[in-house]
Copies of this chain bind each other. A is one copy, B any other.
Amino acid sequence: MTERWLGDMDPQTFRRWGHRLVDWMAGYLAAVEKYPVLSPVTPGGVRRQCDPAAPERPEDFDAIFADFESVVLPGITHWNHPSFFAYLPSTGSAPGILGEFLIAGLNVNGMLWRTAPAATELEEVVLDWLRQMLGLPEAFWGVLQDTASVASLCAIAAARDGVAGLQVGESGLAGRPLIPRLRLYTSQEAHSSIDKAGRILGLGQSNVRRIATDADYRMDPAALERAIQEDLRAGMRPFCVVATAGTTSTTSVDPLDEIATISARHGLWLHVDAAYAGAAALLPEKRHLFGGWERADSIVVNPHKWLFTPIDCSALLTRRPEALRAALGVLPEYLRTEEGDRASVHNLMDYGVALGRRFRALKLWIVLRYFGREGIAERIQEHIRLAQLFASGVDADPDFERMAPVPFSTVCFRYRPGDMAERLRGAKPEEASRIEGFLDDFNESLLNRLNACGKLFLSHTRLNGRYTLRFAVGNIRTTESHVRAAWHEIRTMAAELDEELRVGDLMF
């Protein structure tokens, strides 16, 4: 009997497959347009091709990779596709991929300074670079989280635990009759992760008070002030405001300066969710939209959204790291280190939920250096230009309607043919509602049909109750020709669908 190899894959095989995957990946990225953007599989389509029984014996990488190509790949929605215009941009880049490869190879856990000093120190350096690029003052210190959902949760936890006199971290919120309801304010357009944070943190979703927005989907500061006053009169305890710079539906920006003033007046923690749009603060011409965020207690900006860094990578910038640590730092004996007691040494596990920490800073360090502020800014500028180009197409077409301003690279619009626009003007409520219902159904059908064709992928939202299509530009491979082709496809399909649906529908 020969002794079995109990180690890792042998180096020759690793080299061979590593090289093959590099070539495969280069080919994939260069030719990603040949794939349908949205995966055409139906539910169960991938699972059905997998062996339901756990693998018992080792398999060659060849067999595994063959299944990757034949089973996994057809089930992929290609976020790398230049005609992926759905949700908000989330784009990697080749230097970011190389960074991930190094991260996986080193496989360090940067929970403590000593378990990977470079992971901790590079994180602090690179987040200070990001701070500079965003034009934020030196008082902001940064730490990476996986996603904005978690970054916002951490910020709100720090806000909650910082409420004077309550000692929530130690004593909790339940069974304490003297503790009032803690109230958090955010706009009606804020991201669902704020609701989720409210639930997880034991505040309760009903205490995440949604503030009305203006016609441009920005939080109304007067309504915020009224809500706070009302809650104070009712004996509740306001403690936090979450403003959004770049909402998920329309990318609107709350009036940060006014909100900062209100937050300061009432002593509330101000958290700014700039997960997507924060990247645009790199551009001098867009910086003014962020005026006031420098007064926030914390800000989240996701490099994995619009800073060309592979998912996941979310930067939490705060001027109150000690509050974050007070809420999230728990130090058992087995994680105690000599150097951990020094003020200059941060154990980054103390500033997040997870103990284990990937070396995410490495990919961000590579991406920021490879492109430089200049290169990143140019790409973001180009995406904004392309979105404006698309918006101008919508504006110029009598059969389409733009549904919101376009401060960045996302356009909200819908099909609304000229004759219906006409009829909507001056229609009685019942008639208007019938037409609007038709338009909602029409646009939903249009979206489904567009996405099914595989040439492009859009998503939707509802604005003032109306079904609205969203066109978000941000992929590093997207060029003007993709945007023009998408606009052409949308117009063509809308016209076809219009013809189909109106035949036999004598109402219209």
Contact = CB atoms under 8 A, between A and B. Distances in A.
Contact of A46 (B54, B99, B117): B117
Contact of A58 (B29, B97, B310, B370): B370
A353 B201 CA distance: 11
Interface in A359-381: 362, 365-366, 368-375, 378-379
Nearest to A120: B46
A248 B175 contact: no
Contact of A21 (B102, B331, B344): B102
A171 B204 contact: yes
Interface string A301-323: 00010001011101000000000
Contacts of A30: 11
Contact of A106 (B44, B46, B79, B372): B79
A18 interface: yes
Indicate the member of A79, A100, A476 with the most B CB atoms within 10 Å: A100
Interface in A322-359: 327-328, 330-335, 338-339, 342, 344-345, 353-358
A460 B335 CA distance: 8
A328 B196 contact: yes
A173 interface: yes
Interface stretch (A122-130, A212-220, A291-299, A420-428): A122-130
A334 B71 contact: no
Contacts of A108: 76-79, 311
Interface stretch (A88-96, A391-399, A484-492): A88-96
A481 interface: no
Interface string A176-208: 110111100000000111011011111111110
Contact of A22 (B22, B86, B310, B371): B22
A63 B57 CA distance: 44
A504 interface: no
Contacts of A460: 333-334
Contacts of A407: none
Contact of A61 (B23, B149, B353, B370): B370
A147 B356 contact: yes
Given A39-B114, A41-B117, A64 B369 contact: yes
Interface string A149-170: 1100100010011000000111
Nearest to A75: B118
Nearest to A383: B6
Contacts of A72: 118, 122, 362
A33 interface: no
A429 interface: no
B175 A117 contact: no
A200 B157 contact: yes
A461 interface: yes
A94 B181 contact: no
A433 interface: no
A71 B90 CA distance: 29
Contacts of A310: 104, 107
Nearest to A190: B332
A149 B356 contact: yes
B98 A100 contact: no
A87 B333 CA distance: 11
Given A15-B26, A146-B354, A52 B7 contact: no
B338 A448 contact: yes
Given A199-B327, A370-B61, A172 B169 contact: no
A324 to B, nearest CB: 12
A288 interface: no
A368 B51 CA distance: 12
24 contacts: A8-B94, A9-B93, A18-B98, A25-B105, A39-B114, A39-B116, A47-B124, A47-B125, A53-B129, A61-B98, A64-B95, A75-B119, A77-B115, A79-B107, A87-B334, A92-B105, A149-B355, A172-B203, A174-B203, A174-B207, A196-B330, A199-B327, A248-B332, A353-B353
Given A13-B94, A72-B362, 18 more contacts: A7-B477, A9-B95, A18-B23, A19-B19, A25-B101, A25-B105, A39-B116, A39-B118, A50-B125, A59-B369, A79-B115, A147-B355, A169-B199, A170-B206, A174-B176, A174-B182, A196-B330, A201-B202
